[in-house]
């Protein structure tokens, strides 16, 4: 089959690789009809995530048709159209039972390695390096899905791929980010990052009762989408002092909750710029939690900080003094996608949201290398790419 493979930083190509096989009675094989490129894939593309190997198949946002099932799979059958959560979870362990699906104890075969670095192992993830299990991803013609009974969501007839594809990741991720803000009536929520995750976080914050949402980015068409499609007030951080602007817009108090929907990729300068410059001068790539620092400093006293942006390893120079003395509450994590599949499918069916608004490009799988290039560099007004194997 054809698959999008990682071959080092900034190098992906479409290779011919062996078809996946059933390895465990709980597996299913999916023939993929639609798959997307995520901001998280850019961390791999940029070479930020260790334990990738040349030839690894990328992709964790995918859906398609079940073409084969293992002997103990009962909830899905050949021919079903399904959406696949990006987190892999057994459904039976202590954490799955507590609805903390991205912390599953049984789905990461390289958990021992993760434990050495993180103390405990998170769940396995599709197409996201060997420390997260080394699973082949879904930017391919076929994929093997473990724990098929637990993970796969059957799609009702009449719904298009584009309507449901983002249940795999970015819709639940934006939604959980907003839920982690503990929004109360009248609340103002500020969101850093108007990428796909940020866009869904804005929509979700309104769904959960926010009175106002202020969205921050520097890419004009992303700010435009946040304003036109998601009804946010927008700030371009290259044009003004975000901290001052937020104070002014909130009667001096600051937003009641703040979301980091940026993660490792943060651009821009803030009060740590000098520190970064020094590191660059000696050719050490600095960690750049630029957005996260601003998020913490801007948040109102007693407010909630929700981190959806992905971080790994060590992140330096966070203003913990501000966090402590303003009594902030922090929530973060890989999304517990399984928990949100059915409720968010209902939201789509009810017409509360049409997730297709975020798609700017649909490309054949063969053009994935071009897709990664335009998504990374924000060329051609690119916001979200769907690939068609």
Minimum distance from residue 367 beta carbon to ligand NAD (Å): 18
Nearer to ligand NAD, 96 or 291 (CB): 291
Using an 8 Å Cβ cutoff, are 33 and 112 in contact?
Answer: no
- Which of 90, 197, 205, 234 binds ligand NAD (CB under 6 A)? It is 197
Q: Which is nearer to ligand NAD, 29 or 235 (CB)?
A: 235
Distance, CA of 188 to CA of 175 (rounded, Å): 16
Q: Pick the binder of ligand NAD from 70, 91, 243, 268 (CB under 6 A).
A: 268
Indicate whether 129 belongs to the interface with Zn ion (CB under 5 A): no
C-alpha pair distances (Å), 171 with each of 235, 342, 369: 23, 12, 24
Segments of 179-284 assigned E as strands: 188-192, 212-217, 233-236, 257-260
Q: Can you tell me the distance from the alpha carbon of 37 to that of 287, in angstroms, rounded to the nearest whole number?
A: 23
169 contributes a contact to Zn ion by CB under 5 A: yes
Note whether 243 binds ligand NAD by CB under 6 A.
Answer: no
- Residue 267 interacts, among Zn ion, ligand NAD, none and using kind-specific CB cut-offs from 5 to 8 Å, with ligand NAD
- Residue 90 interacting entry, from Zn ion, ligand NAD, none, C-beta within 5 to 8 Å by type: none
E strand or H helix that includes residue 280: helix 273-281
Environment class of residue 281 by beta-carbon count within 10 Å: exposed (0-12), middle (13-18) or buried (19+)?
Answer: exposed
Residues 33-52 that bind ligand NAD (CB under 6 A): 38-40, 42-43
Told to check if 38 binds Zn ion by CB under 5 A, we report yes
Residue 348 in the binding site for ligand NAD (CB under 6 A): no
Pick the closer one to ligand NAD by CB: 33 or 381. 381
Nearer Cβ to Zn ion (323/332): 332
35 binds Zn ion (CB under 5 A): no
The H or E element that residue 151 is part of is: helix 148-151
Q: How far is the CB of 60 from Zn ion (least distance, A)?
A: 5
Do 39 and 263 touch, CB atoms closer than 8 A?
A: yes
Residue nearest to Zn ion (CB): 38
Identify whether the C-beta of residue 30 lies closer than 8 Å to the C-beta of residue 65: yes
Residue among 125 and 226 whose Cβ is closer to Zn ion? 125
Q: How far apart are CB 316 and Zn ion at their closest, in Å? A: 25
Q: How far is the CB of 203 from Zn ion (least distance, A)?
A: 17
Contact flag: residue 104 with ligand NAD (CB under 6 A): no
Q: Exactly one of 4, 272, 291, 344 binds ligand NAD (CB under 6 A); which one?
A: 291
Is residue 40 within the footprint of Zn ion (CB under 5 A)?
A: yes
The pair phi, psi for residue 29, each rounded to 5°, is: -105, 130
Decide if 299 contacts 273 (C-beta within 8 A): no
3-state DSSP assignment of residue 143: strand
Between CA 169 and CA 348 the distance in angstroms is 15
Closest CB to Zn ion among residues 40, 180: 40
Part in contact with ligand NAD (CB under 6 A); list of ranges 16-24, 142-150, 264-272, 349-357: 264-272
At 244, give phi and psi (nearest 5°): -65, -45
Contacts of 82 (CB under 8 A, 6+ apart): 30, 63, 64, 65, 66, 76, 152, 153, 154, 155
Residues 368-387 interacting with ligand NAD (rule: CB under 6 A): none
One character per residue 302-321, x = contact with ligand NAD (rule: CB under 6 A): ------xxx-----------
If binding is defined by CB under 6 A, does position 127 make contact with ligand NAD? no
Nearer to Zn ion among residue 169 and residue 217 (C-beta): 169
Of 230, 174, 224, 219, residue with least CA distance to 201: 174
Kindly list the distances between the CA atom of residue 313 and the CA atoms of 49, 200, 350, 380, in Å, as whole numbers in the listed order.
9, 26, 40, 32
- Residue 263 as a binder of ligand NAD (CB under 6 A): the answer is yes
Q: Which does 98 bind (CB under 5 to 8 A by kind): ligand NAD, Zn ion, none?
A: none
Q: How far apart are the first and last CA of the chain?
A: 10
Whose Cβ is closer to ligand NAD: residue 155's or residue 226's? 226
**What is the binding site for ligand NAD (CB under 6 A)?**
38-40, 42-43, 169-170, 173, 192-198, 216-219, 222, 237, 261-268, 290-291, 308-310, 334-335
């Amino acid at each position: 089959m054809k698959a999008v493979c990682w071959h080092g930083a900034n190098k992906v190509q479409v290779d011919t690789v062996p078809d996946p096989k059933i390895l465990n009675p709980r597996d299913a094989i999916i023939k993929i009809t639609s798959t997307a490129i995520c901001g998280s894939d850019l961390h791999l593309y940029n070479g930020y995530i260790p334990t990738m190997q040349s030839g690894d198949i990328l992709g964790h946002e995918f859906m398609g048709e079940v073409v084969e099932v293992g002997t103990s799979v009962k909830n899905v059958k050949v021919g079903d159209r399904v959406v696949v959560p990006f987190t892999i979870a057994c459904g039976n362990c202590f954490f799955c039972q507590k609805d903390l699906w991205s912390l599953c104890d049984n789905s990461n075969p390289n958990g021992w390695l993760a434990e050495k670095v993180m103390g405990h192992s998170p769940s396995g993830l599709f197409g996201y390096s060997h420390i997260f299990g080394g699973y082949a991803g879904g930017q391919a013609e076929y994929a093997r899905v473990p724990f098929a009974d637990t993970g796969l969501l059957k799609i009702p007839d009449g719904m298009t791929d584009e309507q449901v594809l983002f249940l795999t990741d970015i819709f639940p991720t934006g939604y959980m980010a907003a839920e982690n803000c503990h929004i109360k009536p009248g609340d103002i929520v500020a969101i850093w990052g108007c990428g796909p995750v940020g866009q869904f976080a804005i929509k979700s914050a309104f769904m959960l009762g926010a009175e106002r949402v202020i969205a921050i980015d520097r890419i004009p068409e992303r700010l435009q989408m946040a304003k036109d499609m998601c009804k946010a007030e927008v700030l371009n951080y290259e044009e003004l002092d975000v901290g001052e602007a937020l104070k002014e817009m909130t009667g001096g108090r600051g937003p009641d909750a703040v979301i980091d929907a940026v993660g490792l990729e943060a651009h821009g300068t803030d009060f740590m710029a000098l520190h970064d410059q020094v590191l660059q001068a000696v050719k050490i790539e600095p960690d750049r939690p630029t957005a996260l620092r601003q998020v913490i400093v801007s948040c109102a006293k007693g407010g909630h900080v929700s981190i959806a942006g992905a971080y790994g390893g060590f992140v330096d120079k966070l203003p913990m003094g501000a966090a402590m003395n303003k009594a902030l509450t922090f929530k973060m994590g890989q999304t517990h996608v399984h928990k949100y599949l059915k409720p968010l499918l209902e939201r789509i069916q009810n017409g509360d949201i049409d997730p297709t608004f975020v798609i700017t490009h649909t490309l054949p799988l063969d053009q994935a290398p071009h897709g990664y290039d335009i998504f990374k560099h924000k060329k051609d007004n690119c916001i979200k790419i769907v690939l068609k194997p």
